[in-house]
């Protein structure tokens, strides 16, 4: 992302600018989105934070090919996030970089599922595989529906993203079968990942005011309306992998309302540190 | 939305005509064997009137992949090439819809890819669609088959990895000549 915030000092190259930066506190931006804007922020933020978590595997995946694959997926997702955030940003009065780097945790609307630790904190590669599968299937179903959005820019973004996400699902599905139908150990670890992640999946299908508003304005589908199509995508793959998913519990995660897990702050700290330290820094 | 590539109009102003000729020579930074027009990403060239417009030459470009890091470089290369040819001022605008498809790569572009060592993409929706274009999602068994080796032409090839050095390619190996090669994914 290129950073262009004219009111902020440029990347410090001299002592005088460095001292002025040192005395500058990076002010966070605050949003007061309409339900429609919340609906779009949720999509853009989910792509962005999922990309950030996938990118953590860069240099650490179990094999080189998968390292490249996960980085490529992250790249597509960053591109999708940029497009959506730029678009909603024109309505909110902020650019993509301000939205990504200068918002506080409560103003992010991504699902809790995508902010959970991937590579770190004892999590397994199976967690990354399963999350990627569940989420890219969800994104694929969503993008296909958004191709008919009344917001023509969103429809155009979806027209590109739907093709990319299809490849993401195919790739993730390959891994689900490989782990689930692999060795006893790989199947066990995939099951454990399901036990850890499943509680965060119902949020993907909760319907709130933003969903109702978006559906009424034909901006996009409500989350609840995606479930049947999503099941139709994942079930044949899970059957082939021999993986039975746990039943839905009572717990509901709330990232899409801006109330995040304890992990979100760490994601943002890493993602935002450069812009917070050097406001307006550019490549 | 049809999957028809934009062609240079038969009758165009000299400036637009010259611009298309310049664009034929602007190479993709990540696949420097083919030009931006071979790729089919230049959708339109419009000469704005100096009287009621800004007198600029507008080049309408569509992105290949959402996250393609070459997008900005391509815009810059087009700008520089048009300026160098004395056709400026020029500005590059982005058009997202209809979404770019590898079906828009010209026959010349496909041949240049092959000569460069990259197997050109199969038609979208064909058996060689590799899960991207067919509309149906399935695990790896949907991978492209019988991709002809760009070096020896053998169809005895196998996929090594779903992703490659850039977003638009996957990695293959020829069983006949044993050479690895890249395949431009149909999208």
Confidence of residue B6 (pLDDT cuts 50, 70, 90): low
Please determine, for residue A126, whether its predicted confidence score (pLDDT) is greater than 70.
yes
Residue of chain B whose Cα is closest to the Cα of A176: B139
Tell which wins on pLDDT, A118 or B164. B164
* Least confident residue range of A102-116, A117-131, B161-175: A117-131
Mean pLDDT along residues A131-140: 97
Please determine, for residue B127, whether its predicted confidence score (pLDDT) is greater than 70.
no
Contact residues, chain A, for B170 at CB < 8 Å: none
A80 with B67: Cβ contact below 8 A: yes
State the nearest Cα–Cα gap between B120 and chain A, in angstroms.
18
B67 with A75: Cβ contact below 8 A: yes
Confidence of residue B148 (pLDDT cuts 50, 70, 90): very high
B67 with A78: Cβ contact below 8 A: yes
Confidence of residue B51 (pLDDT cuts 50, 70, 90): confident
Confidence of residue A9 (pLDDT cuts 50, 70, 90): very low
Confidence of residue A68 (pLDDT cuts 50, 70, 90): very high
Which pLDDT score, from 0 to 100, does residue B164 have?
87
Q: What part of B 126-145 touches A (C-beta under 8 Å)?
A: 130-133, 135, 137-140, 142
B125 near A CB under 8 A: no
Confidence of residue B108 (pLDDT cuts 50, 70, 90): very high
Q: What is the pLDDT of residues A20-47, one digit of tens each?
A: 444 455 789 999 999 999 999 999 999 9
Confidence of residue A83 (pLDDT cuts 50, 70, 90): very high
CB pairs under 8 A between A and B: 103
Residue of chain A whose Cα is closest to the Cα of B71: A79
Cβ–Cβ contacts within 10 Å for residue B32, how many?
A: 9
Contact residues, chain A, for B167 at CB < 8 Å: 72, 75-76
Q: What is the pLDDT of residues B92-101, one digit of tens each?
A: 999 999 999 9
Residue of chain A whose Cα is closest to the Cα of B132: A167
- Which residue from A83, A170, A233 is facing B131, i.e. has the nearest CB? A170
Please determine, for residue A16, whether its predicted confidence score (pLDDT) is greater than 60.
no
Interatomic CA distance for residues B97 and A99, integer angstroms: 25
B67 with A2: Cβ contact below 8 A: no
A167 near B CB under 8 A: yes
Please determine, for residue A141, whether its predicted confidence score (pLDDT) is greater than 90.
yes
Q: What part of A 21-80 touches B (C-beta under 8 Å)?
A: 65, 68-69, 72, 74-80
Mean pLDDT along residues B42-55: 86
A68 with B164: Cβ contact below 8 A: yes
Which pLDDT score, from 0 to 100, does residue B13 have?
81
* Least confident residue range of A5-9, A191-195, A247-251, B122-126: A5-9
Q: Provide the mean pLDDT of chain A.
A: 90
B65 with A160: Cβ contact below 8 A: yes
Superfamily for B14-94?
Fe-S cluster assembly (FSCA) (3.30.300.130)
- Which residue from A74, A76, A153 is facing B65, i.e. has the nearest CB? A76
Domain architecture of chain A: domains with CATH: 32-277 (1.20.1260.10)
Please determine, for residue A100, whether its predicted confidence score (pLDDT) is greater than 60.
yes
B107 near A CB under 8 A: no
**DSSP symbols for B15-74:** HHHHHHHHHTTPBPSSSTTSBHHHHT-EEEEEE--TTTS--PEEEEE--SSTT-THHHHH
State the nearest Cα–Cα gap between A158 and chain B, in angstroms.
9
A170 with B160: Cβ contact below 8 A: no
- Which residue from B66, B139, B161 is facing A65, i.e. has the nearest CB? B161
Domain residues of chain B, as ranges?
14-94, 117-184
B132 with A163: Cβ contact below 8 A: yes
Is the ipTM here above 0.95? Answer: no
Neighbour-count burial for B92-105, b at 16+ CB within 10 Å, e otherwise: beeebbbbbbbbbb
Residue of chain A whose Cα is closest to the Cα of B1: A159
What residues contact B87, with CB distance under 8 A and at least 6 apart? B15, B18, B19, B22, B57
């Amino acid at each position: 992302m290129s950073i262009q915030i004219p009111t902020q000092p440029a990347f410090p190259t001299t002592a005088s600018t460095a001292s002025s930066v040192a005395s500058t506190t990076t002010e966070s931006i605050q949003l007061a989105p309409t339900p429609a804007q919340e609906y779009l922020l949720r999509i853009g933020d989910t792509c962005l934070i999922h990309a950030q978590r996938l990118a953590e595997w860069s240099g650490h995946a179990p094999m080189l090919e998968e390292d490249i694959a996960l980085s490529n997926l992250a790249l597509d997702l960053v591109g999708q996030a940029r497009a959506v955030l730029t678009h909603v940003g024109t309505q909110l009065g902020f650019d993509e970089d301000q939205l990504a780097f200068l918002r506080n945790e409560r103003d992010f609307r991504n699902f809790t599922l995508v902010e959970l630790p991937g590579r770190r904190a004892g999590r397994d590669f199976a967690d990354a595989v399963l999350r990627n599968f569940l989420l890219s299937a969800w994104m694929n179903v969503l993008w296909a529906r958004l191709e008919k959005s009344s917001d023509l820019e969103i429809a155009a973004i979806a027209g590109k993203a739907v093709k990319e996400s299809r490849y993401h699902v195919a790739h993730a599905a390959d891994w689900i079968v490989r782990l689930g139908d692999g060795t006893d150990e790989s199947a066990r670890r995939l099951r454990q990942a399901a036990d850890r992640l499943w509680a965060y999946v119902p949020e993907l299908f909760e319907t709130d005011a933003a969903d109702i508003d978006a559906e009424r304005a034909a901006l996009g589908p409500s989350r609840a309306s995606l479930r049947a199509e999503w099941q139709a995508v994942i079930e044949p793959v899970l059957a082939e992998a021999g993986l039975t998913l746990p039943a839905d519990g009572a717990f509901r995660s709330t990232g899409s309302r801006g109330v995040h897990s304890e992990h979100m702050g760490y994601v943002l700290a890493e993602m935002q540190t450069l812009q917070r330290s050097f406001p307006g820094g550019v490549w | 939305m049809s999957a028809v590539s934009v062609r240079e109009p038969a009758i165009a102003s000299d400036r637009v005509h010259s611009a298309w000729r310049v664009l034929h020579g602007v190479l993709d930074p990540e696949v420097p064997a083919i030009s931006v027009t071979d790729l089919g990403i230049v959708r339109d060239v419009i000469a704005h009137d100096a009287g009621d417009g800004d007198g600029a030459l507008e080049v309408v470009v569509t992105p290949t992949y959402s996250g393609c890091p070459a997008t900005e470089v391509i815009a810059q290369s087009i700008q520089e090439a048009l300026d160098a040819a004395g056709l400026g001022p020029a500005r590059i605008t982005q058009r997202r819809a209809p979404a770019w498809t590898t079906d828009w790569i010209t026959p010349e572009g496909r041949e240049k890819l092959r000569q460069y060592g990259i197997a050109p993409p199969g038609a979208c929706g064909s058996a060689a669609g590799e899960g991207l274009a067919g509309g149906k999602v399935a695990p790896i068994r949907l991978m492209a088959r019988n991709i002809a080796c760009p070096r020896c032409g053998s169809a005895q090839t196998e996929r090594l990895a779903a992703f490659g050095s850039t977003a638009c390619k996957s990695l293959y190996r020829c069983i006949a000549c044993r050479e690895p090669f890249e395949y431009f994914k149909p999208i």
